[in-house]
Amino acid sequence: MKTFCLTTMIAVFLLICSNGIQAQTTQTKLDQVELFKQLLGTWKAEVAKDTSYVHEYTSFGNAIEGNIKIVTKGKVLYSVKQLWGYDKKNDKILGVELSNSSPEISLYSLWFTSKNICEGVVIQDITHPENTTTKMKMEFKSPDLAILTFMENDKVVVTRTYTRVKK
């Protein structure tokens, strides 16, 4: 009788453990493209008195085109063009950015870790993208509010609060 009880307890324990292990590994895959569409529209972040960042994102086929401006007292000080697309092989959103005042090209890799959190890196060396030190995180607090944080060597260097501009 003792052997039967002990065997039953071990079997039940193993069944519970294996069920728990399976529950941890089964995770629904996030639809990166659909989640990235949350960005479509115009977003604005006030960064100083009379100065703001304005981001405008529109559909470009299966990609997203971005236009970013720093505006002060109605005058554009700086502008950037972006193009974002989904890389199915790596399940990441890749972006390229060109500014009007610099010959440098910036490359980004982004991915959603949940329905409202997108994380990413600035690819500083295309031959070794894993060596990046600049990271970012965007959290969609609501459909009209997003917090963008940039980190350098895992230390926060800037945080901006963006609100959707209603047309």
Structure confidence by residue, pLDDT tens digits, 73-109: 999 999 999 999 999 999 999 999 999 988 889 999 9
Cβ proximity of 132 and 122 under 8 Å: yes
Residues 134 and 122: their CA atoms lie apart, in Å, by 6
Q: What is the pTM of this model?
A: 0.78
**For residue 128, pLDDT beyond 80:** no
User: What is the total residue count of the chain?
Assistant: 167
Arithmetic mean of pLDDT, 12-40:
69
**For residue 146, pLDDT beyond 70:** yes
Q: How far is CA 41 from CA 1, 75, 79, 90, 167, in A?
A: 70, 21, 17, 26, 9
Residue % of the chain over a pLDDT of 70: 83
Residue type, 158: V
Q: Structural domains in the chain?
A: 32-164 (2.40.128.20)
Arithmetic mean of pLDDT, 123-138:
82
Nearest of 118, 108, 102 to residue 85 by alpha carbon: 108
Rg of the chain over all Cα atoms, to the nearest angstrom: 22
Q: 3-class SS at 89?
A: coil
